A and B are shown apart, each in its own frame.
Chain A
Amino acid sequence: GQQLNQSPQSMFIQEGEDVSMNCTSSSIFNTWLWYKQDPGEGPVLLIALYKAGELTSNGRLTAQFGITRKDSFLNISASIPSDVGIYFCAGLPQEYGNKLVFGAGTILRVKS
Chain B
Amino acid sequence: NAGVMQNPRHLVRRRGQEARLRCSPMKGHSHVYWYRQLPEEGLKFMVYLQKENIIDESGMPKERFSAEFPKEGPSILRIQQVVRGDSAAYFCASSPLGTAYNYEQYFGPGTRLTVT
Contact = CB atoms under 8 A, between A and B. Distances in A.
Q: How large is the interface on B (under 10, 10 to 19, 20 to 34, 35 or more residues)?
A: 20 to 34
B7 interface: no
B110 A100 contact: no
Contacts of B103: 31, 33, 48, 92, 98, 100
Contacts of A100: 33, 45, 103, 105
B55 A88 contact: no
Contacts of B110: 40-42
Question: Quick one: which of B4, B42, B107 has the most chain A CB within 10 A?
Answer: B42
A48 B105 CA distance: 10
Nearest to A31: B103
A88 B42 contact: yes
Interface residues of A, number: 23
B45 to A, nearest CB: 6
A107 B41 CA distance: 11
Contact of A43 (B6, B100, B107): B107
B91 interface: yes
A110 to B, nearest CB: 19
Interface of B: 4, 6, 33, 35, 41-45, 48, 55-56, 58-59, 91, 93, 100-101, 103-110
Interface of A: 6, 31, 33, 35, 40-45, 48, 50, 88, 90, 92, 98-105
